[in-house]
Structure 1
């Protein structure tokens, strides 16, 4: 099985649906967090948003709380035991046994048996409580700054304080609706340390395997609360988060601090991967835009492509290829280190959310069609 060098996020269409349809009522949200995923033979045919590898095992997650796993390069699949029926958007394994999946309603799931069974570690209510607590501490700090500031500087600080208080009031109102905001990205360094990211600037970190979480949104410069769609680690150790409006943040100290990177594209990024070479980053997203950096995001170049299909995820494989997948059945393949891509569109035109190469001429695709086996261009085998 090919070694994956990527993390994944949900695509544009699915994010839009999540924010529109996430909160019809607190009762409905509570139900899907309490009702286990239904066992069905059709789990491989429903929408799958992401896939990760637990050793030689593939584990894919999708709508209705479906999690499936395969030990034979995707030829057969088994459905996992999952305690929720929310749509799951991303999955990552720290090692062969310990993995985390995230999704709508702020759900965070953990598995300690390579994805066979899962437990619910956190919901959006707790995530919101953590965020409010962090912002209330910011209010205390800002009030002290205002008290000590020269008179000519007080006005701007007071405006900023008003904005912060308004944000807290909005979050408290959202709490009455229920856990509505989706998580969109997850990455774990080991069994203890990991991050989850999501809508409206959510970023949480754990150092004890998800037993407790800390809100990190105040450590990332994101005053407009852009959605944080994906997080990954690239070769060399750098952590990268991408999101709306060309948002890119990089950490070189395992996520303790983050630096803003200026992007040549100001639209939304939905995915980010490493190429396998030290400090190389490829980010991609809306309308097929791809940007590449060889210096951990300090400089960028735009990668020319002939397709405008929104791109959702990708992988750099052991065969020297970079493969990106997206809406409308798009499969883009580069054999030049990402300098150029050839693009193909699958006949069914169903959106593709993720890809795993298992041979030089065999891809497994995950998306609106569920699981599909395809050749190197994305054509069904």
Structure 2
């Protein structure tokens, strides 16, 4: 059920129309970064705020979204706003245990919780991310320069010089960002255990922690992504890890993220989400209603006849073996084991960004209208969401 969305200014345009997931470099820079450290905005209608992703800590559901909004469901079923020390748009959330979890957001923010989602504190922000990336590329430059001093093979020298130029270009970009301020959004987080997590984002950003988030390491060089395309979603089961992204990017790892292989993608357009079903089949989906399933860990894919051209954001497997995939315009795809698709539409007509199964036949979605239910609840709140979603 992994999905991702970018800068809030583009989120509303992308999320609610054609979905690209990072700020255009030509966009006017916002130099006000108080949102990084400003507490999340309180709301009297927390369930109706824009929400991007929802996850379980094993005991309760936690959803994240706009203005640093994190909400968790208590034992009575009510939703309570968490204490969050940032008001950036939060794009993803994942838990390693009932207590330990991470969330990511815009302006390079990574948050963590030690109490199951009641309180969230910053472990990283965009200023620190720039320092990490600059040191990473400076080290690469030093290594390449040392190799060039002793290398005699002309072809190898040419390749090393190209790599050196690319690393220096990356440093130049960071130096510009240092003057203008951080703008890179993180787009997804994968919590492996209480010590290990992976964070991915715009322009190929890829980080790992092995000490609970006390330190984050840049590992972008582990992926074959010379174009610096956006990384949109990361999922895992056991030692099998997968990443999907812009321009059909698709990567796999068979050793818990230590080494990565770029796979041949079934689609050249952006892939926004991915999930693994009960049989460990890989499902990926994205632009224009494109969805695919692989029974061999991404070596080959079969296209799903979705019957829709709306963007697809996230999905989940049910206990009965069906797949649920959500997207724009209230779209819910229900896919059976024979890959037959039942096209459902939520009456809100809203953009939906994530989905979880609450009970058999009962699902909970996040999106532009906040929390939405299936079957749709006939309440004043959901009726209002329906009206807003149809606008």
Structure 1 residue corresponding to 2:110, chosen from 95, 108, 111: 108
Structure showing greater relative contact order (alpha-carbon pairs closer than 8 Å, 6 or more residues apart):
1
User: Counterpart of 2:191?
Assistant: 188
User: Counterpart of 1:246?
Assistant: 248
Q: 1:152 to 1:179 in 2, by over 3 A?
A: closer
Which of 309-318 and 10-19 deviates more? 10-19
Give distance in 2, aligned partners of 1:311 and 1:156. 39
Cα offsets for 1:143-168 (capped at 9, x unmatched): 23333141344334323322221121
Give 1:241 deviation, angstroms: 0.7
**Secondary structure of 1:10 counterpart:** coil
Cα offsets for 1:104-158 (capped at 9, x unmatched): 0011010111101111110012122212222222222222333314134433432
8 Å Cα contact 1:290-1:303 kept in structure 2: yes
Give 1:375 deviation, angstroms: 1.6
Matched, 1:230 2:233: yes
User: Counterpart of 1:286?
Assistant: 287
Give distance in 2, aligned partners of 1:239 and 1:92. 15
User: Counterpart of 2:351?
Assistant: 351
User: Counterpart of 1:24?
Assistant: 29
Cα offsets for 1:67-111 (capped at 9, x unmatched): 0001358x4200000111110000000111111110100110101
Give 1:23 deviation, angstroms: 6.6
Matched, 1:166 2:169: yes
Correspondences of 1:73-222 after superposition (within 5 Å): 75-147=77-149, 148-222=151-225
Cα offsets for 1:51-77 (capped at 9, x unmatched): 00011200000000000001358x420
Which of 156-165 and 122-131 deviates more? 156-165
User: Counterpart of 2:40?
Assistant: 37
Structure 1 residue corresponding to 2:5, chosen from 3, 6, 10: 10
Give distance in 1, aligned partners of 2:354 and 2:155. 53
**Secondary structure of 1:59 counterpart:** strand
8 Å Cα contact 2:324-2:334 kept in structure 1: yes
Give distance in 1, aligned partners of 2:75 and 2:341. 30
**Secondary structure of 2:257 counterpart:** coil
Give distance in 2, aligned partners of 1:17 and 1:192. 28
Q: 1:377 to 1:305 in 2, by over 3 A?
A: farther
TM-score, normalised to structure 1, is 0.91
Pairwise CA RMSD of aligned residues? 2.3
User: Counterpart of 1:367?
Assistant: 367
Q: What 5-or-longer segments of structure 1 have no aligned partner?
A: 1-5
Give distance in 2, aligned partners of 1:226 and 1:42. 36
Structure 2 residue corresponding to 1:57, chosen from 55, 60, 63: 60
8 Å Cα contact 2:2-2:354 kept in structure 1: no
User: Counterpart of 1:3?
Assistant: none
Matched, 1:302 2:303: yes
Q: How many residues align?
A: 370
8 Å Cα contact 2:53-2:93 kept in structure 1: yes
Give distance in 1, aligned partners of 2:376 and 2:255. 37
Give distance in 1, aligned partners of 2:74 and 2:279. 29
**Secondary structure of 2:88 counterpart:** coil
8 Å Cα contact 1:187-1:231 kept in structure 2: yes
Give distance in 2, aligned partners of 1:153 and 1:20. 35
